[in-house]
Amino acid sequence: MNHRAVVAGFKQQKIQFFSDPQWIIPSLVSPFLFTMVMLFLYGDDVDGPIVLQAVLGGGVLGMWANTLFASSFTISYDRMNGTLESIMVAPSSIYSILIGRSLWSTAIGLVNAVVVFVIAEVMFDADLTLANPVLFFVMLILTLFSLASVGMLIATAFIRTRMGRVLSTIAEYPIYVLSGALVPITVLPEGLRVFSYVLAPAWGIDAVKRAAIDGCESMFGVSMAVDVALLLALSSLLLAVAYVVTRRVERRMLETGSATRY
Amino acid sequence: MTGTATIIWATAKNTFISRFTVTPPIFWALQIVVTSFFTMYFFSLLAEYVGNPDVTVAFVVIGNAVQSIAATTLYSVSEIPSVEKHTGTLSSLMQSPAPMFTVFLGMSLFSIFSGAVAVTLSLGYAAFFFHVSFAGCNFLSMALTLTLTCLSLTGLGMLIGGAGLHLRTSAIIANVVAYIGLLISGVNFPVSYLPGWVQAASACMPLTYGVEAARAAVEGASPAEILHPLGMMVVLGLAFAVLAWFAFRFFERLLRHGGKTDAF
């Protein structure tokens, strides 16, 4: 991995974010919407833990949406704008560049979680005290790492297609359902829950909720150590798969000269 | 065929071809099939989990079925000028003597078609997967409701799209309106839950009336009984269409005078 390419990828994604601020939607508007729908559904019965659950759920869904859309567009845009060739001729691997870009999207995910948290605190004046703030912060970082690994896989898988946008739109709500962020996966049919088990961030979400809300039980029925172990194992697997896919796609594009085919 | 009809026909045909060239029909269909189902499923699970007695699964499912029109009309229609600008084809379009409003109206027919498919499919899901009873449904009322919802939201989409001629992207405005619409239009919970000033904003959204009329139609209300929401959709749809016409004229002139069709 090339450290300078990672930093450059991070910086480039930051510039792209501010010059084309439509990522504000998954980062800020969408988590706000999910949080508010849940709170309005509860009516007047909202108290601290419920608001916290809604805020965490909405915030995590926003992080999911940000990962999904930013990752699927990141290389598609280069392909569409004709800048993918320039990236390909650089001596650095696309993998390093994508790591840098995913890290920016992940960092924005953290910002959106904080913003939703502040909005809910101000609007509902609820007591949003975290059960274990240190553990919560650690688990949030690990969840962001798992989201970044998913983002890496999506970005590499979508390099060769011009349908990144369509595919990410197709994946959006199924992922919301399976993630367990707003609605615990225990309410899903058994057949669907299997898909949640392979989503690395779902284990992170489980751990985040338990660290934040006093008395919150695991939706997987496991200890927090198991949550963390599975999150790390699945995220590492995703990164490894992303690495293999990137190498293959990169080689294929160099052989066929199809970087600008659109 | 008159000139206007020719322009609408030509641009609509071109849009159908170009959309299906970039996205094969199977993926276009998959997007509608999956997104419609999982949006309804997600919000119905949420409603069930919260357990508010006022908000039944049927309430949420019908709301989201009608809302599926918004996803495919309001958002897609408003995005058309921005996409043309982004892909560098706006200049070519503006060289034609056809008014931009008419050109983009033709292009929006694809989105209207997608909206019609999405809502039909969603109502099918409502009946077969979510067990909403349509036994007493007044299908004439439902058809009128869905048609007017589709057209009025297209008018709103065209209005936002008009600004998209000038802006780098209209996606942000469209997304904000679409998301806020989802929150304030009574899709997932009754409008009465909202604070008073938000209810006033909700009265300006065609989706509010579409959702209200659709729920009434499922319970058997005749067109005469839902005249108010239907009438409001006609009024709002016409108002948005007129405003969109002026917006296109204004921004088209601004672009031509400034030579900024490719400014990005």
What is the residue range of B181's domain?
3-254
**ipTM more than 0.95?**
no
Tell me which residue of B117, B154, B161, B140 sits closest to B218, measured CA to CA.
B140
Q: Which residues of A touch B188 (CB under 8 A)?
A: 37, 40-41
Q: With contact defined as beta carbons under 8 Å apart, do A56 and A212 qualify?
A: yes
Note whether residue B264 is domain-resident. no
d(CA A133, CA A121): 16
Query: Token pair of A114, please?
Result: 């904080």
Are the CB atoms for A106 and A148 separated by under 8 Å?
Answer: yes
Ranges A15-19, A219-223, B132-136: which has the least confidence: A15-19
- Report the pLDDT value the prediction gives residue B222, as an integer from 0 to 100: 95
- Among A139, A121, A134, which Cα is nearest to A208's? A139
Tokens (6 digits) for B155: 């008018």
Question: What phi and psi, each to the nearest 5 degrees, are found at residue A166?
Answer: -65, -45
pLDDT single digits (tens) B146-155: 999 999 998 9
Say how many CB pairs under 8 Å bridge A and B: 90
* Burial class of residue B120, CB neighbours in 10 A (0-12, 13-18, 19+): middle
In a domain, residue B195? The reply is yes
pTM for this predicted structure: 0.86
Q: Nearest residue on chain B to A26, judged by CA atoms?
A: B175
Chain B contact for A123 (CB, 8 A cutoff): no
User: Which residue of B42, B54, B170 is the best one to mutate when testing the A interface, meaning the one whose CB has the most A CBs within 10 A?
Assistant: B42
Residue B39 resides in a domain: yes
- The answer as to whether B201 is a domain residue is yes
The one-letter amino acid at A54: A
* Cα A175 versus chain centre, distance: 10
Tokens (6 digits) for B12: 């609509």
- Provide the domain count of chain B: 1
Question: For residue range A193-230, what is the model confidence (pLDDT) as tens digits?
Answer: 888 898 888 999 899 888 888 888 888 888 999 999 99
Asked if the structure places residue B262 within a domain, the reply is no
Q: Kindly tell me the sign of the dihedral angle through the C-alpha atoms of A248, A167, A186, B182.
A: positive
Please indicate, yes or no, if residue B102 is contained in any of the structural domains. Answer: yes
Please state, in angstroms and rounded to a whole number, the distance separating the CA atoms of residues B92 and B262: 10
- B261 falls within a domain: no
Give the E-state strand segments of chain B in sequence order: none
Give me the residues of A, 39-58, that contact B with CB < 8 A: 40-43
- How far apart CA B228 and CA B226 sit, in angstroms, is 5
Contact B176 A172 (CB under 8 A): no
Domain-embedded: residue B185: yes
Partners of residue A33 in chain B, C-beta under 8 Å: 179-180, 182-183
Q: Measured between CB atoms, which of A166, A169, A183 is closest to B45?
A: A183
B186: left (phi over 0), alpha (psi -120 to 50) or beta: left
| For testing contact with chain A, the best of B21, B82, B86, B183 (most A CBs within 10 A) | B183
The CA-atom distances, in angstroms, between B220 and each of A89, B140, B214, B215, B232 are 65, 10, 10, 9, 20
Which tens digit of pLDDT belongs to each residue from A74-94?
777 787 777 888 888 888 888
